[in-house]
Amino acid sequence: MAPLTYSPLNIVCLHTFKPTLLLISIMAMALPSYGESFTAKRTGQGFTGLTQDFTSSLSNPALLTKFDNYDDIFFSLNIGIMASDKYDVVDTTKEISDNLDNLAKDINGIQSQNFQSTTQVKSYYDDLNQQVDDIIADFKKIDNKVVKVRNGLNFQMIIPNQYLSFGLFTNQYGRIAGTLDYSEDDEKTLNDAILSANLNLNDLASATTTLGYSIAEAGVMAAYPAIKQANYDFSIGAKLKYQRIDLYYNSGKINEFDDDDFEISNDENITDKSGSNVDLGLYLTWGAERQWHAALVSNNLLKKTVYHVEQNITFTLKNSTVFGLSYQNSWLSLATEIDLTDRAQFAALAASKYAGVGAEFRFYEHIQFRLGYRTDLNEIDDDIYTAGIGISPWAVFAIDIAAFTGDNDTIGAALQLSLKI
Number of Cβ within a 10 Å radius of residue 394: 9
Least-confidence region, from 31-40, 206-215, 268-277: 31-40
The answer to whether 198 and 107 have CB atoms below 8 angstroms apart is yes
Q: What is the mean pLDDT of the chain?
A: 84
State how beta strands 367-376 and 384-391 pair. antiparallel
What's the pLDDT at 350? 59
Q: How confident is the model at residue 267 (pLDDT cuts 50, 70, 90)?
A: low
Q: Does the pLDDT of residue 272 top 90, yes or no?
A: no
Angstrom CA distances, 350 to 27, 32, 319, 377, stand at: 9, 8, 16, 11
What's the pLDDT at 258? 63
What's the pLDDT at 5? 37
Q: Does the pLDDT of residue 275 top 70, yes or no?
A: yes
> pLDDT per residue over 41-62, tens digit each?
999 999 998 999 998 999 999 9
Residues forming beta bridges with residue 285, ordered by sequence position: 233, 293
What's the pLDDT at 16? 30
Q: Does the pLDDT of residue 30 top 60, yes or no?
A: no
**Position with higher pLDDT, 227 vs 211:** 227
Question: What is the average pLDDT across 224-246?
Answer: 93
Taking the C-alpha atoms of residue 221 and residue 416, their distance in angstroms, rounded to an integer, is 20
Question: What is the average pLDDT across 74-90?
Answer: 89
State how beta strands 345-346 and 313-317 pair. antiparallel
Q: Quote the percentage of the chain above a pLDDT of 90.
A: 52
The answer to whether 49 and 76 have CB atoms below 8 angstroms apart is no
Residues forming beta bridges with residue 292, ordered by sequence position: 286, 327
Q: What are the start-end ranges of the H helices in 13-88?
A: 18-30, 40-44
What's the pLDDT at 263? 53
Q: How confident is the model at residue 19 (pLDDT cuts 50, 70, 90)?
A: very low
What is the secondary structure of 356-400 as a DSSP string?
EEEEEEEETTTEEEEEEEEEETTS-SPPEEEEEEEE-GGGTEEEE
Angstrom CA distances, 327 to 73, 151, 235, 249, 330, stand at: 26, 30, 18, 44, 11
Least-confidence region, from 9-13, 300-304, 309-313: 9-13
**Position with higher pLDDT, 267 vs 207:** 207
Rg (alpha carbons) of the chain, rounded to whole number:
26
> pLDDT per residue over 115-147, tens digit each?
888 999 999 999 999 999 999 999 999 998 888
Q: What DSSP state is assigned to residue 184?
A: T
Q: Quote the percentage of the chain above a pLDDT of 70.
A: 86
Q: Does the pLDDT of residue 33 top 80, yes or no?
A: no
Least-confidence region, from 9-18, 83-92, 181-190, 223-232: 9-18
> pLDDT per residue over 154-180, tens digit each?
999 999 887 788 999 999 988 888 888
Residue type, 208: T
Query: Which domains does the chain show, CATH number per domain?
Result: 18-88+145-192+205-420 (2.40.160.60)
Q: Does the pLDDT of residue 326 top 80, yes or no?
A: yes
Q: How confident is the model at residue 29 (pLDDT cuts 50, 70, 90)?
A: very low
Q: To which H or E segment does residue 133 belong?
A: helix 118-142
**Position with higher pLDDT, 403 vs 272:** 403
Q: Name which of 234, 318, 250 is nearest 22 in CA terms.
A: 250
What's the pLDDT at 28? 45
Q: Find which of 20-24, 312-316, 354-358 is predicted with most confidence, using mean pLDDT.
A: 354-358
Residues forming beta bridges with residue 251, ordered by sequence position: 209
What's the pLDDT at 381? 76
Question: What is the average pLDDT across 387-401?
Answer: 91
Q: Does the pLDDT of residue 334 top 70, yes or no?
A: yes
What's the pLDDT at 308? 75
Q: Chain centroid to CA 27: how far? A: 13
What's the pLDDT at 115? 85
